[in-house]
Chain A
C-alpha cells in the first residue's frame, strides 16, 4: 500500500482509492474524417510501453472522481509527480535529473521485454544512452 497525491483533493490518499487509465496526453487527430487509417489506428489502439519514465492518466475514483496525470517510473514504480488535466509534466525522460538507465525506451520490436535476462544487459545499456 502506498499513497498518491491527488492534485484536486490536494492531499495524499491511499492507492486503493485510485485507478490507472492508461497513457496520458493522447492527442485526438484534429480532423478525424480526413486522417489516414494509420493515424487513426495509432490514436485508438497503439500505446507506448516505455521502460522508465511514463506519463499516465489516473482517476481518483473513490474520492473526488477527477482524472489527473502521473509521471511514473515503470522500472521502480516510483511516482515522480502528479498534475491536473491540461497541464504538462515538469519531469520527462529527457530531464537530466532522471537517472541515465531510467531513460525511455518506447515499445518497438519486442524491446520492452529486454532486461528480463542477463544476456540483454548490453542491449539495455545501448538503448538507454
Chain B
C-alpha cells in the first residue's frame, strides 16, 4: 500500500455540488429548444475522473484486477466496460484518463493504490476540474469540423478513439464512444466558453439542450 494521503472530495453532508455549467446551463429558466434539432447538447455532470500515470504494464495489471478492463495500449484508444459507464482512455504513453459514474472514483482510487502497492505511479482525482459534454445529432460532425482542426471523418476518427486537441481557442479531449455521439471532456474554467461556442456553432442546424 502506498503511503500517499488520499481524501474523499465529495462532501458527505448535503452541501450542494455545482457543475461548471451551473449558471450557464442548469440554472437557466429556459434552454434552447429547436423543433427539429440537428444538434442535441447536454452535460454529463459529476462523473468521477482519475488521471493515472505510470508504466503501462503495472497499470494494466492493476486495472485488470480492479476494474476487469484492459488498459488501452495503443495511442488514442478508448475502451469502455459492457455498461459503457466506465471508460479508460489513452492520453500519452504513460498517462490514462479513467471516467466512472460519480461517487465511484474514491473507492476506485483506493483499490488501484492497494493493487499498485509500491510501484512507480500516480493517481490524481481531477473530477472537480473537468466535466463532460455530450454532442449528438445529425449535424454533430459539422459542428466539430467548425471548431476543431483534427480530422473527425469516420475514417480518421472511428468509434473507440479519443484525442486531446484544440477546440476553438481552448483545448478539449474529444472522444467517440458510440456511433452517433461525441463526448467533449472540457476544463472547468473553459466550460462556459466551450458551451457557448457550441451553442453558437450549432445554431444554424437547430439546437436543443437537455439537462
User: Would you call A62 and B75 a contact (CB within 8 A)?
Assistant: no
Interface of A is mostly: loop
- Tell me how far the C-beta of A40 lies from the nearest C-beta in chain B, rounded to whole angstroms: 32
User: Would you call B92 and A10 a contact (CB within 8 A)?
Assistant: no
Q: Mark B162-177, 1 if CB is under 8 A from A, else 0.
A: 0111100001000000
Provide the residues of chain B in CB contact with A10, threshold 8 Å.
75
Provide the residues of chain A in CB contact with B91, threshold 8 Å.
64
Is B2 interfacial (CB 8 A cutoff)? no
How many A-B pairs fall under 8 Å by CB? 38
Provide the residues of chain A in CB contact with B149, threshold 8 Å.
1, 14, 16-17
User: Would you call B93 and A63 a contact (CB within 8 A)?
Assistant: no
User: Would you call B76 and A13 a contact (CB within 8 A)?
Assistant: no
- Tell me how far the C-beta of A13 lies from the nearest C-beta in chain B, rounded to whole angstroms: 7
Is B190 interfacial (CB 8 A cutoff)? no
Is B197 interfacial (CB 8 A cutoff)? no
Nearest B residue (CB) for A64: B92
Q: Contacts A9-B76, A11-B75, A16-B166 hold; do A62 and B171 have CB atoms under 8 A apart?
A: yes
Q: Mark A67-99, 1 if CB is under 8 A from B, else 0.
A: 000000000000000000000000000000000
In chain B, residues 75-109, which have Cβ atoms closer than 8 Å to a Cβ of chain A? 75-76, 91-93, 95
Is A65 interfacial (CB 8 A cutoff)? yes
- Tell me how far the C-beta of A5 lies from the nearest C-beta in chain B, rounded to whole angstroms: 12
Q: Mark A30-72, 1 if CB is under 8 A from B, else 0.
A: 0000000000000000000000000000000011111000000
- Tell me how far the C-beta of A4 lies from the nearest C-beta in chain B, rounded to whole angstroms: 12
Given contacts A14-B166, A16-B149, A63-B164, 4 further A-B contacts (CB under 8 A): A9-B76, A17-B165, A64-B164, A66-B93
Contact surface of B with A, Cβ cutoff 8 Å: 75-76, 91-93, 95, 149-150, 163-166, 171
